[in-house]
Amino acid sequence: MLGRSIRMAGMIHQLVDVMNEQTERHTELYGLSLEEKDAIIKNDIDTLQNLVNLKNMVISQNSRLEKQRISLVNDIAEVMGHKSKDLSLADVIEMLKEQPNDQEILRESGTKLKEAVNKLKEVNDINKSLLESSIEFVEYSLNALRSTIEPELPEYPTRLPHANNGGAGTFNTTS
């Protein structure tokens, strides 16, 4: 029983470390997204491209951390005698009712991570809206430009009048 408790405490602390690192990555993404918003507003394509590359690196790091987090939650579930591999953080916190200190540390870490994710979502929603507006403006500008470049062609009737009686627009072969 003591070995299980020590192993469990180690996994809980690993989980907290991973979640704290995820919070840092989300906070980093938030800062990059704020810079991205400014670049969108300024229409600074070079800066925007650099920020997208940086964000992709951070997202890759965060994906690795997410896999670690899921693996740790599954290991904790197994040690606690639970078969479900789809435990939420709230489920893990509930399982730790006999360990209130670990329960509180895990709850705080989860709250910080959730707050960081929500802040990131908000700024990404703003950026999405700005990009959609920019695309609409570009499409509008292209359509306006096309209308000034492409002259309106006159419409011709499908049948010319007097086509069979030697009128204008036909060749008269009886001269």
Which tens digit of pLDDT belongs to each residue from 109-155? 999 999 999 999 999 999 999 989 888 888 888 888 887 776 666 66
Residue 109 C-alpha from the chain's centroid = 23
Residue 166 C-alpha from the chain's centroid = 70
CB atoms closer than 10 angstroms to residue 22: 21
* Arithmetic mean of pLDDT, 73-82: 84
Tell me the pTM.
0.74
* Arithmetic mean of pLDDT, 32-52: 94
- Residue 77 and residue 100: Cα distance in Å, rounded? 17
